[in-house]
Amino acid sequence: MQRITLALLPLTAVLTLGACSADRPTLTDAPSARATDDPTTSSTPAADVGERDDNDPGTLDASGLVARAVGDIDLVTTPGGPVTMSLPATTEFGSPTVLAATRWADADKEWLEVLVPVRPNGTTALVRADTVTLGRTSLRVDIDLAGRRLVVHDGDATIVDTSVAIGTPETPTPTGSYFVTDVIDNPDDAGSYGPFALGLSAHSDVLDQFGGGDGQIGIHGTNDPGSIGNAASHGCVRVSNEIITQLAGLIPRGTPVTIR
């Protein structure tokens, strides 16, 4: 049995996050995790959350559905199958591990399919429903690479609409469906990554490593506001420091993020 223990790396690896800036923090600049509220609106047994279509037992209304670890999480590829991945209960930053739920994998709601923050992007696995609690967030983040804009929706309402910097053609920002893994409080508000960063479950499609990390993608502030609106990063999404401060106080872990 292959067991893969997953955890976010310290900022020196992560917030080069798949690639953001050549000016990266040193080990002594690594931030601690900012304390945030739980990413869900409730802490509920998995079987009590999510509407099912009786004609398709696997269908789940997964809009904004977040699975929160109650301990270490073992993941499988088929219900009752051998463990193929293991996730710790908390990330390297000390925040509870969360995963974005996609559907029920069985009619009895004993197994839940989740997005997993590993390569390749879009990897899914199954988790026992009794090893997580579920809740729902009404927030979602949409990033339009062609328009170079980031929009935060709360249900049908738009609450943030802002210009962003994206990856260059050589190091593009990867498209796909992801979620926020961590909200990081950077110690140097004037640094390359601004006062805050949101770690995403996405990884660069072209950089296997960057600055000692594994090419994780994030949304962060910048000390180069002139780069906003341009294709300027190694894959991360840059916003103004004012916006990232707003997002850090608004976006909970587990919030779905679509990059298109």
**Nearest partner of 239 among 231, 227, 256, 251, judged by Cα:** 227
pLDDT of residue 69: 94
* pLDDT, tens only, 108-165: 889 999 999 999 999 999 999 999 998 888 999 999 999 999 999 999 999 999 999 9
Closest residue by Cα to residue 96 from 43, 158, 25: 43
Angle subtended at Cα 18 by Cα 151 and Cα 245, rounded to the nearest 5 degrees: 40
What span, in angstroms and rounded, lies between the C-alpha atoms of 72 and 85? Answer: 11
Catalytic one of 20, 203, 220, 234 = 220
Q: 194 in the Ramachandran plot: left (φ > 0), alpha (ψ -120 to 50) or beta?
A: left
Token digits of residue 110: 């004993």
Architecture of domain 11-29+138-259: Beta Barrel (2.40)
Percent helix / strand / coil, the chain, rounded to 5: 10, 40, 50
Find the mean pLDDT for residues 9-33: 35
Phi, psi of 225, deg, nearest 5: -60, -20
Q: Identify the residue with better confidence: 113 or 20.
A: 113
Q: Determine the straight-line distance between the first and last CA of the chain, rounded to whole angstroms.
A: 36
Max CA separation in the chain (angstroms)? 56
Distance from C-alpha of 25 to C-alpha of 159, rounded to nearest angstrom: 31
Q: Hey, what are 259's tokens? A: 């990059």
Please pick, among 20, 203, 234, 236, the residue that the annotation labels catalytic: 236
Exposed (0-12), middle (13-18) or buried (19+): which is 142, by Cβ within 10 Å? middle
d(CA 227, CA 225): 5
Residue 106's pLDDT is: 87
- Say whether pLDDT at 3 is over 60: no
Element (H, E) at 11: helix 11-14
pLDDT > 90 fraction of the chain, expressed in percent and rounded: 64
* 24-45 mean pLDDT: 35
Query: Could you tell me if 23 and 227 are in contact, meaning their C-beta atoms sit under 8 angstroms apart?
Result: no
Does the CA dihedral 240-241-245-246 come out positive or negative?
negative
Question: Do residues 17 and 10 lie in contact, with contact meaning Cβ atoms separated by under 8 Å?
Answer: no
- The residue count of the chain comes to 260
Residue 236: active-site member: yes
Tokens at residue 224, please?
Answer: 């180069």
List, for residues 225-259, the tens digit of each pLDDT value: 999 999 999 999 999 999 999 999 999 999 999 99
**Which sign, positive or negative, has the C-alpha torsion 258, 203, 6, 108?**
positive
Q: pLDDT at residue 37 above 90? A: no
